[in-house]
Amino acid sequence: MDNKDKKIAVWICQGCDIGKSLDVAALEKVATEECGAARCSSHPFLCSPQGGDLIRKDIDAGANTLVVAGCSPRFNVHAFAVDGCWTERVNLRELVVWSHPPNDEDTQMLAEDYLRMGIARAKKAQVPEPLQVEIDKTILVVGGGPSGMTAALEAARAGYDVVLVEKEAQLGGWLRKFSRLFPKKPPYRELEATDLESRINEIEQNPRIRVCRGATIEKIAGQPGQFDVSLATNGTTQKFRVGAIVQATGWKPYDAFRLTHLGYGRSPDVITNVQMEELLASGAVRRPSDGKPAQRIAFIQCAGSRDEAHLPYCSAVCCRVTLKQALWARELDDQAQAYVFYKDIRAAGQYEDFYRRAQEDSQIFFTKGDVVSVEPSGGRSLVVEVRDTLLGKRIEVAADLVVLATGMVPVAADGEAIRRLRDAKAVLEKGEAGAQLQAAAETVEKLQHHGGTDVLRLEYRQGPDLPVLKHQFPDSHFICFPYETRRTGIYAAGCVRAPNDSEACREDAAGAALKAIQCVHLASEGKAVHPRWGDQSYPDFQLQRCTQCKRCTEECPFGTLNEDVKGTPQPNPTRCRRCGICMGSCPERIISFADYSVDIVSSMIKAVHIPDEFEEKPRLLGLVCENDVYPALDLAGLARIAHSALIRFISVRCLGAVNVVWIADALARGFDGILLVGCKSGDDYQCHFIRGSELMGTRSDNIREKLKQLALEEERVRIEELALSEYRRLPQIIDEFAAQIQEIGLNPFKG
Amino acid sequence: MSTNGKTGKVLVIGGGISGITAAIEASEAGCEVVLVEKRPYLGGRVAQMHQYFPKLCPPSCGLEINLRRIRTSARIRCLTLSRVEKISGSSGCYRATIGTFPRRVNARCTACGACVAACPVQRPDDFNCSMGSTKAIYLPFETAYPLQFVIDESACLGTACGKCLPACPYQAIDLEMKPETMEIDVQAVIWATGWDSPDAATIEGLGFGTCRNVITNLMMERLAAANGPTGGKIQRPSDGRAIQSVAFVQCAGSRDENYLKHCSAVCCMASLKQARYVRQQCPDAQIYIFYIDIRSPGRLEDFYAESQKDEKLHLLKGKVAKVAEASSGGDLVVEAEDVLSGRRVAQKVDLVVLATGIVPAHAEARVEVDGGLRRDEHGFLTSDQPAAGLLAVGCAKRPADVAACVRDATGGALKALQCCVERASG
């Protein structure tokens, strides 16, 4: 719809104290006479069925844009939503009458400004037209171990086609090597056989699953719904398209050769838990050195785990694996004894029953302690030296066989590190002189070991693989949203995401399969995934004005933008989470969404009535993140906590989605101060767009420069971080800021 | 999301983090969902948490996003103050009978709170583990969804009193609201009934119920929460003093043949997390953790490693035998054997927190289910149920932390979706 074709109907709800606290007639005048709305009416209880009927009458009579001034947009969503019609919600309740004194001049001015801002937005915002692209709904599962097989089966059972890619000649992953597992079902006492063969049969018989064995990925180009995969199998390349990807590439054992102090590599009778599986499966536990039966078996837990010098994390399953192996060894030879040296036995939940089962065996001994060393002694034995034991001293225990419970390392690549390595190599190749060369050389040295590790080989400017968290796991940073990796449509499952047992991995894989299904389902409707679920807007780039500064490409947290040789961004809209960080970063302001753009917010800023310098009424602008801070404003209002009436708030998608021109616009317009509040940044960041507050922090350097140039005080722009649970702090922050601005004095550019 | 264009319908029993997740994920994959919650609000146990481990982030952040998804969804119907009474039918074809208790407050409520002053009745505040009281008409907490007051029927004096009625500016109170029953047909039922705290008073010798300053992990969570009974201040129940020392007693009544045999998987991390709360408020407090094994699996080990750097945090391996009051002042003495040194310990502390663990909430035990439900010996629902389309997720199935429950619930939503697809194509 063209903006000039908009016919705006404004409705003001008088309920919830609004009618009692404001001059509604004056508001109606602002709407119609000042802002040119086609009509403006009020109603005592707009969210009632009668209110709804009256609104619909307006629509029937030709209104195509609605402004509803009343409660917060977070409430009564369905009451005021009309299909195809832009509905602007103006918050006169939580933000005005619940947090300011009634029938007060400043409160009235505040309400009028919010109405002006809302109408300004309603005049320009468009109901997004969803992107229509051809979406393939096939799910690609990378990795054919228990996690991958489960993801494939579960997706197929839900009616989706699957391509399951496995680099080995056979499916099964590590389950091929582990013939018996610790119990996953009550009463959690007896070892279980794997159901590998029956699972493989199920997969092979499922018409929706295409299995590619002995296959490696050459590259994956495109975006969710349109991932173009090139797969190499036996020297030939096949190409096909998929919609979403589950990475279930599993794990490899920690390199035990690094554990020389535990005897690995120095004696053949020091083996890993993985090697022990093979011995047990053979039917008899024989010492590798001389083939004699091993009757004193020492299990050393946390071998190279929970150790800053090796793997700092715990691999979650090794305790239960050892319990299994000890019981199994005892089953094979009841003369055998097992000595388990542990830091903590981690058999949590119902697995406590399995631990109890092992403790019932009088020939399995548990000793808490740190194993200092494993030394070959004269003859057949090995000596395990242990410190800080339950007996309170150092002890030495002789063993025939020592099993090191080593941990799991994810088979994943650090996508961003590989990208930085490639960029640094490119700089070196170009050979230009300067500080850049030095920095590039250092980067290459530091990141060299990432070379050649890529797994998914995504053709993404931001790197060929998923970004990783601490310890190189491609996991989500969020507890409440554990599948949200930083690449839309690509989900990690199983031990590559976090070490775990096969049952937990299967549950994990089922979840990842659902997220993959949701992604293609949403993409087919032009909708975004987490956290702006259902959002059909997408960023539009006016590339003819692009200056190739590359800020959008670099700052996009989700790798949405590729780049051509000149550095012009190439958007891939289904990768996009609609955060608007690109829009915030662009100095030329060429990026916009149908309902959220630089122009829209600038118009809202300019719609505010700024009293001239003689009225002594400063004006503050508040830009607040919609995820945590806007709801915090609502909560403060609900609690009837007042805040300064000098401030006008605009909700933004993210602090990263704030274009600094808005600050310039506000200052030019005569605002005296700008307060920006967003989510927590840092290592334990809360931003669902990863780096919003952090970006605003770095951009604020530019802002400070600008303020200096204008000879304005730095304090006029303040950035704060707030969690929703801290809503009581927000009125304090606002009031402090207001007091500070009043002290500094009015903006000299006002008037 | 089905092969012939008809959408399937799923019933989710329980509106905690697992139920909310299962409902939202299933709905965003195309299913219609009915979410039934016995309490007057969604959020279950996580609504009572101050922060999650290991990030020490507030539950309200993720809940706000999830509630936005629920509020804007056209496919989720939430019924609070409701219970499932009966489920009949068989694989993929269930009929559920749902009973809704009267809230006695209708949709006109704006949570303004004008009714509170008028109400003459106090009732124990269950949201705050009875550490305080509310009026009979109350708002469970400020971010409750739905954001609506509720009347505790067992405390309210009804129309004989009626003092709240004239106080309400919106005619939102209806003291004569009646219970309702409805029946729905669904293809799958997801049990997300969550957990309860076991009764700590039954554990002999640990002083709960007799010593005023012995509390549970859940109570400590409420003390630390800004919307808790003390506004977020961790203090002794007996005299309101800030604490200088605290003992966490792990496995209190758990991993124990005489009480709960299972391990509750999250209490080690919960206590380590709460130790951080204490450290933040009381920089000099001495913190003692009595444990059998510290279970911080996987990457949670980082949190434990960081905690161990705190010089005033003392980890003692040894089961606590006894907690008793030292004097009439409310101070406590914790008796245990420190197995690593072999010494007996009698540690005087201001406050004792019992890590009492979790037991499956037996809501489902009151539901009549055709064919019954399978449970293990601890009462948790098993992964394999007799009928297809009956799925247990979250703590109803096994004790687990929030991230694990969310993953499990997401997988459960997929299995429910499969039932809808099978039904539609059958």
Distance of alpha carbon A343 from alpha carbon A387, whole angstroms: 11
H or E element at residue A421: helix A415-430
Give chain B's largest Cα–Cα span. 73
pLDDT at residue number A749: 85
With a threshold of 0.90, tell me whether the complex ipTM lies above it.
yes
Quick check: A578 pLDDT over 50?
yes
Q: Give yes or no for residue B282 having a pLDDT over 80.
A: yes
Q: Which residue of A has its CA nearest to B302?
A: A313
Q: At B22, is the pLDDT very low, low, confident or very high (cuts 50, 70, 90)?
A: very high
Looking at the DSSP assignment, which residues form a beta bridge with residue B215? Answer: B353
Q: Do A482 and B415 touch (CB under 8 A)?
A: no
Contact predicate A684/A694, CB 8 Å: no
Residues forming a β-bridge with B249: B290, B354
Q: How far apart are the CA of A734 and the nearest CA of chain B, in angstroms?
A: 20
| Alpha-carbon separation of residue A509 from A149, A342, A512, A515, B251 (angstroms) | 9, 30, 5, 10, 31
Whether the ω angle into residue A128 lies within 30 degrees of 0, i.e. cis, is no
Cα angle: B313, vertex B315, B318; to 5 degrees = 150
Q: Over pLDDT 70: what percentage of chain A?
A: 99
Q: Is residue B323 within 8 angstroms of chain A, CB to CB?
A: no
d(CA A502, CA A149): 11
Q: What is the mean pLDDT of residues A479-487?
A: 95
CA distance A63 to A73: 20
Do B299 and A498 lie within an 8 Å CB cutoff? yes
Please say if the pLDDT value at position A380 is more than 80. Answer: no
pTM of the model as a whole: 0.96
Residue A364: in which H helix or E strand, if any? strand A364-368
* Alpha carbon of A349: minimum distance to chain B alpha carbons (Å): 4
Q: What is the pLDDT of residues A690-700, one digit of tens each?
A: 999 899 999 98
The answer, yes or no, to whether residue A722 has pLDDT greater than 50, is yes
Distance CA A544, CA A725 (A): 44
The residue count of chain B comes to 426
Which distant-in-sequence residues (6+ apart) come within 8 Å of B392 by Cβ? B190, B191, B380, B381, B382, B383, B385, B412
The Cα angle at residue B374 between residues B371 and B377, in degrees rounded to 5: 145
B18 touches chain A (CB under 8 A): no
Suggest the residue from A514, A687, A728 to mutate for an interface test with chain B (most B CBs closer than 10 A): A514
Characterize the bridge pairing of strands A180-181 and A192-193: antiparallel
B294–A344 C-beta distance less than 8 A: yes
pLDDT at A314 over 90: yes
Closest CA in chain A for residue B378 = A350
At A434 the pLDDT is 79
Confidence of residue A709 (pLDDT cuts 50, 70, 90): confident
- The tokens for A183 are 């119990």
In whole angstroms, give the CA distance from residue B11 to residue A203.
Answer: 29
| Residue A256 and residue A264 in contact, taking contact as beta carbons nearer than 8 Å | yes
Q: Looking at residue A581, what is its pLDDT?
A: 97
Q: Would you call B3 and A187 a contact, using CB atoms and an 8 Å cutoff?
A: no
Q: What is the DSSP letter of B375?
A: B
- B422 contacts on A by Cβ (under 8 Å): 157
pLDDT digits (tens, 9 = 90+) for A593-652: 999 999 999 999 999 999 987 888 999 999 999 999 999 999 999 999 999 999 999 999
Interface membership of B178 toward A (CB under 8 Å): no
Q: What is the pLDDT of residue A317?
A: 97
pLDDT at residue A433 in the model = 73
b/e sequence B399-408, b meaning 16+ C-beta within 10 Å:
bbbbbbbbbb
pLDDT for A743 equals 95
Cα–Cα nearest to B311, from B333, B283, B331, B291: B283
Residue found under tokens 């039917």 = A283
Give pLDDT tens digits for A150-206.
999 999 999 999 999 999 999 999 999 999 999 999 999 999 999 999 999 999 999
Nearest chain B Cα distance for residue A157, angstroms? 6
Q: Residue A84 has what pLDDT?
A: 86
Instruction: Count CA atoms closer than 13 A to B297's CA, side-chain side.
Output: 22
Give the torsion through C-alpha atoms of A271, A273, A274, A275, to 10 deg: 30
CB nearest A510 (choices: B143, B411, B425): B411
- pLDDT above 90: residue A393: no
Residues B97-135 have pLDDT tens digits of 999 999 999 999 989 899 999 999 999 999 999 999 999
Cα–Cα distance between A627 and A693 in angstroms, integer? 12
pLDDT at B2: 39
pLDDT at residue B342, rounded to an integer: 82
- What is the model's pLDDT at position B91? 81
- Enter the tokens of residue A677: 């509040």
In which residue are the tokens 């009616």 written?
Answer: A159
For the segment A380-406, the average pLDDT, to the nearest whole number, is: 87
| pLDDT value at residue B364 | 58
Cβ atoms of A118 and A66 within 8 Å: the answer is: no
Q: What is the pLDDT of residues A277-290, one digit of tens each?
A: 999 999 999 999 99
Interface A-B: count of C-beta contacts within 8 A: 223
Q: Does B232 reach chain A within 8 Å, measured CB to CB?
A: no
Which H helix or E strand runs over B72? Answer: helix B59-72
A393 to chain B nearest CA, in Å? 9
Look at residues B388, B373, B341, B379 and name the one whose alpha carbon lies nearest to residue B359.
Answer: B379
- The pLDDT, as a whole number, for residue B362 is 75
Q: Which amino acid is at A548?
A: Q
Contacts of B68 in chain A (CB under 8 A): 74
Interface of B with A in 83-102 (CB under 8 A): none
Residues A480, B66: C-beta atoms closer than 8 Å: yes
Query: Strand B214-216 and strand B351-354: pairing?
Result: parallel
- Comparing A403-407, A513-517, A706-710, B181-185, the range with the smallest average pLDDT is A706-710
Checking if the pLDDT of B141 tops 50, the result is yes
The tokens for A583 are 């829009």
Maximal CA-CA distance, chain A: 102
DSSP single-letter state for residue B127: G
Give ∠ CA A729-A730-A732 in degrees, rounded to 5. Answer: 70
Q: What is the predicted pLDDT for the residue at A1?
A: 83
A392: left (phi over 0), alpha (psi -120 to 50) or beta: left
Residues B410-425, mean pLDDT to the nearest whole number:
88
Please give the mean pLDDT across all residues of chain A: 95
H helices, E strands: number in chain B: 8, 23
pLDDT score of B90: 85
**pLDDT value, residue A378:** 74
Of B3, B28, B52, which is closest to A479 when you measure between CB atoms?
B52
Q: Are strands B180-186 and B93-100 parallel, antiparallel or unpaired?
A: antiparallel
Find out whether B263 and B251 touch, Cβ atoms under 8 Å: yes
Q: Average pLDDT in the A714-740 region?
A: 95
DSSP A453-480: --SS-B--TT-SS----GGG----S-SS
Q: Which of B337, B286, B345, B347 is nearest to B313 (CA)?
A: B286
Least confident of A305-309, A389-393, A693-697, B157-161: A389-393
A316 neighbourhood in chain B, CB within 8 Å: 297-298
**Per-residue pLDDT averaged across A35-53, rounded?**
93
Cβ B176 vs Cβ B159: under 8 Å:
yes
Inform me whether the pLDDT recorded for B4 exceeds 50. no
Q: Are A284 and A401 in contact (CB under 8 A)?
A: no
**pLDDT (tens digit per residue) in A55-87:** 999 999 999 999 999 999 999 999 998 888 999
Quote the pLDDT of residue A323: 98
> What is the residue-wise DSSP string for B7-20?
PPEEEEE--SHHHH
Span B222-277, pLDDT tens digits? 999 999 999 999 999 999 999 999 999 999 999 999 999 999 999 999 999 999 99
pLDDT for the residue numbered B3: 40
A509-513, A532-536, B325-329: the lowest-pLDDT one: B325-329
- Coil vs helix vs strand at B100: strand
